[in-house]
Amino acid sequence: MEYIIIIISAIFVNNIVLAQFLGICPFIGVSGKVETSVGMTGAVTFVMVIATIVTYLLQHYVLIPLGITFMQTITFILVIASLVQLVEIMLKKVSPSLYQALGIFLPLITTNCAVLGVAILAVQKDYNLLESVVFATANAIGFGLALIIFAGLREHLDMVNIPKAMKGVPIAFVTAGLLALAFMGFAGLV
């Protein structure tokens, strides 16, 4: 039951983007097309889950035993940066079209505070390794869900007659706000 609560909470109630406001840069930047959003979701999911596993192990088997937990943030950032480089190399080989479509946003996963935030939150919530993996996976799904829904909404908005002053970023922010309000409807679930 604990795992179900973690999953529902991370995806709907405490969505990493819409409730905790982490990962806004890729949320706004990559959400122009659903196809690109799906690719970004896959990359972020891979990095978020692997980073959470590696940072959990580093935290519990290196930082805490050596008494250097003050190095947590810089250590986690280095792990995430290394994993992003790995994903970039893999995408370049496996899917050059997705690599081109993501463009500058792929290296931005390194600075995506959602990835770092999930790794730190998993440690702060004192989850065990399995709970941390479930938490990271659910947050990645929540990030992807919000990103893909938002991308679909933005694609539809491109076909609608919008006042000139609201085109582009202004209507994107209004839409993101409405999406966040919609997700607030799940607040009583957990």
User: How confident is the prediction along the chain (190 residues), in pLDDT tens digits per residue?
Assistant: 899 999 999 999 999 999 998 988 888 887 888 888 888 888 888 889 999 999 999 999 999 999 999 999 999 999 988 888 887 888 888 888 877 776 666 777 777 789 999 999 999 999 999 999 999 999 999 999 999 999 999 999 888 888 999 988 899 899 999 999 999 988 887 7
Per-residue pLDDT tens for 124-179?
A: 999 999 999 999 999 999 999 999 999 999 999 888 888 999 988 899 899 999 99
Mapped to the 3 state alphabet, what secondary structure does the chain carry?
CHHHHHHHHHHHHCCCCCCCCCCHHHHHHCCCCHHHHHHHHHHHHHHHHHHHHHHHHHHHHHHHHHCCHHHHHHHHHHHHHHHHHHHHHHHHHHCHHHHHHHHHHCHHHHHCHHHHHHHHHHHHCCCCHHHHHHHHHHHHHHHHHHHHHHHHHHHHHCCCCCCHHHCCHHHHHHHHHHHHHHHHCCCCCC
Is pTM beyond 0.85? Reply is yes
